Structure 1
Amino acid sequence: MSKHSKDVEALVVLEDGRSFEGESFGAPGIAYGEAVFSTGMTGYQETLTDPSYRRQVVVMTAPHIGNTGWNEEDDESRQIWVSGLVVRDLSRVESSWRATGTLDEALKRQGIVAVQGIDTRALTRHLRDRGAMRVGLFTGEEALRPVEELVRLVTQQPRMAGADLAGEVTVDEAYVVPAEGERRYTVAAIDLGIKGMTPEQMARRGMEVHVLPASASIEDVLAVRPDGVFFSNGPGDPAAADEAVALMKAALDRRLPVFGICFGNQILGRALGFGTYKLKFGHRGINIPVRDKQTGRIEITAQNHGFAVDAPIEGTSSTPYGEVEVSHVCVNDDVVEGLRCLDRPAFSVQYHPEAAAGPHDASYLFDRFARLMNDGKGAQNA
């Protein structure tokens, strides 16, 4: 069991007993969550405001965090969702002309506990070897308690497996993001933890986006007379998201064009009859290579997921909704990164084509969704 010095200011304690001493910033106090690491060199604000990070403590592998400050324009949702933040070096100044404040101020304002000054390289290597695990951040007098006692507190926290969290992050009431220019399509977007850039990307392509709560029924979806249905990213275990799976099946039954990303990909997988499983340490960052099996093209993608779809990578699979193929695969570990239905107008990817923050290699997927809806309109008019 690790020991700590008597004058430690902050302590990061993992459930297996490994601990790291550091310095407190952000809000003082205690934070619990699942320890995960993100490999993005930039985009910490988009990461912290991504609802998919609900109940997680994010370890940033980039050594210098906070240098671009904080501004309201780059928030991806209404608040910071991470349980806590761990970095090696907090920038002492913000150097972006767009900054309206600092990272430290934003964390304090929203009550988010953070720790700096630890060896995030060693922590990341530990999580890669042992897997994502529960963690506690302890600051001030709480950090002076015996490590054994703090480990007991950490192990009393719920695990991510089995967690149904979409209802904790979804919008309370439906809202509309109008199309830019001429409205060509109407989309019902199911908010399982949606990021703000996603409906913006669709709006730029002439889509009027009706963002609906995760509790929406198929009747709520049909009420907006959609040309297509979108299932967003989100937190938690897809094996626990039965309500979203039922809605996905209802959309597939009606042959509505469907596009899912991240959590939405896992929901489509479950609706088709595939299982899901927890990854050892997940994919989180903006530099993860994915191969499009149809074109052979390698896309550098933004990702944030700890679960994956269990489907055969080669060939097609027979499902209640016809034949389905795996369309994309992670180059690093052969994890399923996309599904394409051959007998239904539906497809999904495991990564984030809205690129907030991240590369724009996959933005064409919104155009693919538009073509799918256009084809659906043609079939209706035939």
Structure 2
Amino acid sequence: MNREYKTLMVTGGAGFMGSNFIRYAFRTAGFKGRILNVDKLTYAGDKENLADLASESETGRYRLLQHDICDHEAMSRIVRDERVDGIVNFAAESHVDRSIAAAQAFGATNVLGTLTLLEAARAAWGDRRDVLFHQISTDEVYGSCPEPREFAEDDRYEPSSPYAASKAAADHMVRSFGVTHGFPYAITHATNNYGPYQTPEKLIPLVLTRLYAQETIPVYGKGDNVREWLFVDDHTSAVWTVITRGKAGESYNIGSGERLTNLDLIHGLGREVAARTGRAPDFFKALMKFVVDRPGHDKRYALNAEKLRRRLGWKPAVSFDQGLKATVAWYGQNEAWMARARTRLGNWLKAEGTAWAKRRS
């Protein structure tokens, strides 16, 4: 089926994936309706990420609403009064390291926040089936994937970290509404995203900001953990495909098939930065510092995305080499954004005062 929305509510839309999705909807997919961006604006959210949507803001087609998704009264009012007919839930606490040291925030936002949205939507939508609640999930809910397997949508959840467990719990909550109430939903599990506007706590922007500043780059363990990398534009196109043409009650994996060890990734980023800045090709090696591995660090992630390709015709358009070059260039050309993001993160860490902050310093 082809779904058409009049008013989409995108939670976490000022963050990395959410802002890229909103931009894609308006500028690439040609969405003609309204988008309500509901974001708490923590350190991970920046309203300037969508400053280029001035024309959509002026006409009322794009609005930023600063709210916590755990606020039941606010979520209920927005979904009901704004006549929302689609919700895409990007809002999440998502950094694994921080979940190890301070898990409560992950349970609150990722589990309770998702439940709050589900209840608000169900109350407003009733028995309607021309609406959709879309849950943005992660490959981490499946746990570590042994070589040479690829996890499929029907594989069992075995989350290793508090972050992954919170996302798994949220997914189960979404499915329970589908089974119990006939609630229309879809879930997508994506591999590691990268690209413009990603906060510097994540691996690729962390490495890039430190490469450009010639600061120490921490490498967990031996650096041999494997991740599958997906350019954020490909993720947004996949999510758009699912919310417009996917079957309600289904889950879809989103992956690229391009997998690298963390060490190989850092070497690739280092070589790209060296080429852009005129530094020695191996300058980055002196910056690398091997540190104690993360507790419960998953060895390998790998998803089988054939269901999405076979049923909906989606496939990634950006190779890892293309995406890497574009990402390195973007961060090199947006020093002011990088500085602002690092300042927000640093201020938040000082306020948080967790063991995670001390371990990462």
Give the alignment's TM-score, normalised by structure 1. 0.25
**Structure of higher RCO (CA pairs closer than 8 Å, 6+ residues apart):** 2
Give the alignment's TM-score, normalised by structure 2. 0.26
Greater helix percent: which structure?
2
Greater strand percent: which structure?
1
